[in-house]
Structure 1
């Protein structure tokens, strides 16, 4: 499961851009050639057996001075730069939310996910939102 955490979308303090590539189990997987990577295949447009999942871009709220998402109402989510939603874009430009991660309070977060993600994949993606927290 290649995970790409690009630079922040709106500058160094804004939300990150996340792209996840999963193998589509409904399509045959073509073998990679020697010295070829999944990300190179995807960037070249040859990775038709992959599902691309991206984070939904948050909107900056001038009143509260934070980026925010309209998170699903399953939990009392607090504003946080760690909150994100992952979507798959369909051919008709509709977005299917396949995962959301949000802060409930200082020490608790909510993680909701569905197919095509597994519990292990969703948990690993959620943990990636903490990657800068422990750097010195």
Structure 2
């Protein structure tokens, strides 16, 4: 399974994320839940949260404990603005620079950084109750002709419904999320209402939610890659009180 290629169409890939608060790390595993996967859980990606003076970064790696940008396991990062309301996913790859005869250019591999997804959380100045509102813009779409002929693809979180008996906002996670949290979300393609069929409105591209202390599920499919889906979910772990 290529972690930077789009997920499959049809049934989503089901994964779970384990958070370690002491080391500020997050590990993504293939499987339904830790209880069902046990020791056979396959590590897909790992991330480390790094706080800087003006932003927060999540460094993403193929290895569980190696997050250096110089490592060949480092594949990209998620970077926030100062308020934690806007994020950019960078796909970092080692590439050969273009041939040049400038002094000092010895053809050594260099890091090339490209923006692949922008994430934005809406501000909540009125302090209305409910989950966070967000949307994601994908800069590059594989097989673009199959995705509404757009130059970019916008994903928006599905609006939950208020449950009178439970007195809370609810989404249908089909049993994959069991603990209420502002971090929980479902993303679907943002199309004009008059152009969406009922099937398209219910077509969840990515869903993320809590199932226990520091354990979360992540289910995703086309056109998101594992790397993109994981990075989007990581944005939910950053503190953003003005959005809640």
Same fold (TM over 0.5): yes
The structure 2 residue matched to 1:52, chosen from 147, 150, 154, is: 154
The structure-2 alpha-carbon separation of the partners of 1:76 and 1:85, relative to structure 1 and needing over 3 Å to count, comes to closer
Question: Structure 1: which 4+ aligned runs deviate by more than 4 Å?
Answer: none
Matched residues in 1 for 2:166 and 2:186: separation?
20
Moved more, 49-58 or 77-86: 77-86
Q: Is 1:17 matched with 2:133?
A: yes
2:89 corresponds to: none
Inter-CA distance 103–128: structure 2 relative to 1 (3 Å threshold): same
Secondary structure at the counterpart of residue 86 of structure 1: strand
Structure 1 or 2, whichever has the larger Rg, is 2
Structure 1 residue 14: Cα displacement: 2.3
CA contact (8 A) 1:8 1:15 kept: no
Partner SS state of residue 133, structure 2 = strand
> Secondary structure at the residue paired with 1:54?
strand
What's the offset of the Cα at 1:5? 1.0
Are the aligned partners of 1:4 and 1:18 in contact in 2 as well (CA < 8 Å)?
yes
Whole-angstrom distance in 1 between the partners of 2:177 and 2:136: 26
Counterpart secondary structure, 1:7? coil
CA-atom RMSD in angstroms: 2.7
Q: How many residues align?
A: 115
- With normalisation by structure 1, the TM-score equals 0.71
Is residue 2 of structure 1 aligned with residue 118 of structure 2?
yes
CA distance in 1, matches of 2:172, 2:126: 18
- 1:59-89 deviations in whole A, cap 9, x for unaligned? 122322221101133x352222211100114
Name the SS of the counterpart of 2:233 in structure 1.
helix
Q: 1:82 aligns with which of 183, 186, 189?
A: 183
The separation in 2 between residues aligned to 1:102 and 1:86, in whole angstroms, is 12
Match of 2:196 among 76, 86, 92: 92
User: Whose RCO is larger (CA < 8 A, sep 6+)?
Assistant: 2
SS of the equivalent of 1:99 reads strand
- Structure 2 unaligned spans of 5+: 1-116
After TM superposition, the score normalised by the length of structure 2 is 0.42
* Native 8 Å contact 1:83 1:103 kept in 2: yes
Cα deviations by residue, 1:13-66 (Å, 9 ceiling, x for unpaired) = 4211111111223349xxxxxxxxxxxxxxxxxxx3011111001112232222
Give the deviation of 1:3 after TM superposition. Answer: 0.7
Q: Structure 1 127/10 Cα, relative in aligned 2: closer, same or farther at 3 Å? A: farther
